[in-house]
Structures are given as structure tokens and as C-alpha cells.
Amino acid sequence: MAWNSFNDCRTVKGSAENMKRLMTTATLLLLCILLPTALEARGVKRYLKKESTVDMKNMNHIFLGWVDLNPDSWVLYQHEGTLWNRGAPFSKAEWTDTISSLNSLFQQSCQSRYLPGHTIATAKDKGDENAAGNDLYIKFSDVRIDYDNQHLILSIHFIDPKTNSEIATIPARPYYGNASGISEYLKAALDEVGTKLAVEVTGGLPEKTKK
């Protein structure tokens, strides 16, 4: 009788372990199925073909406007945290510095990577719209951040400074920043904006984006 009870215990224990293994395997399979779908949902369509009809290739002197990420929205964002600890909130000064840094990096990337061969003048702040003497003014509006989905949303306006008339526009749409932490994903999203500028102004993709 004791031997039978021992065997019964071993059978129950073995069944429980098998069930545990089965549940673990099923969970991993479910994650493998759902994770790519979740990541794809966070991404957005990339418009890598020229949409505007105006030829801007020979507009050599370009004034690049400011991407206004709104210094007053600092209360909405926080530094990158860890798996166990939530990141500390930005102060207004930190968020203002982050906006300036992101614009500076974006401007440098446009000059060196996205619009090489063009002379780029850049806005010093959100109120700087002095595009006089340039062939093209690129202005950004409707700027907002979709924090949960890592999207930077904005519209792009191509303006002739001589007549102050808009010659082309790209409507407000999201640009996905595939990176961790708000500063890094906004930098990545601005790289997507830069790629779009290259497509519209030069008619093609920057070298490192071509596949």
C-alpha cells in the first residue's frame, strides 16, 4: 500500500511538472506570435517616394526651421527608467535643453547626411523665421509627441522665401522613433523626418537609407 502511494505521488508530481513545462512553452510561443505584431503596430508607414511635384534639387540655399517640442510640456515626460524603477520627471530646464539638443543634432544631420551639397542655414529657436536670402524655407508645424507609441507627429511646409508662398506641403503624420528613452526615440524620429526631407528635396533617399 505504501509503495502504491509513493508511486501515486511520483505520478502526480510528474504530471504537475509536465503541465508546468507545457504552460511555459505555450507562453513563450504566444510571446513570439504577439511581440512582432505589437512592435509592428507601434511603427508607421514610411513614405519613401517623393510626394511633392515641385523640383527642389537646385534650391541650394536652404533655411531649416525649428522643431517646436514645446518647452511648457515638460511635465508630461520623464527620463528613461529601468525595469524596476520609473525614470525621474524632466525639469523645465532639462526639457528645454533637450529640445535645443535635438534640434541641433537634427540640423547637423540634415547638413551632413540628408541634404549634403546644399548650404543649410538653421533656426536658432522657435521664433527664428529669418529665411531671407535663401532659396527654400522648410518649416515644421502641428508638432506633437505621441509618448505611448514613440511617434513624433508633424507637418512639413516648403516655402519660397522670395514670395513667402508655400510651394509644397507634407501633411501632419507620425514618424516612428525606434529607440529607448524619449530623447533617443525623438532623435530617431527626427532621422525619419530627415529622410523624408531628402526624398522631397533631392528626389531620392540618402545613401545609408538605400537598400
Best CA proximity match to 60, nearest among 105, 117, 99, 98:
117
Q: What is the CATH number of domain 61-209?
A: 3.40.50
Over the stretch 102-147, which tens digit does the pLDDT of each residue have? Answer: 999 999 999 999 999 999 999 999 999 999 999 999 999 999 999 8
Q: Is the pLDDT of residue 34 over 50?
A: no
* Most confidently modeled range among 25-29, 42-46, 184-188: 184-188
3-state secondary structure at position 119 = strand
DSSP SS3 for 5 = helix
Three-state DSSP state, 70: coil
Rounded Cα–Cα distance for residues 69 and 100 (Å): 9
Model confidence, pTM? 0.78
* Domain residue ranges in the chain: 1-42, 61-209
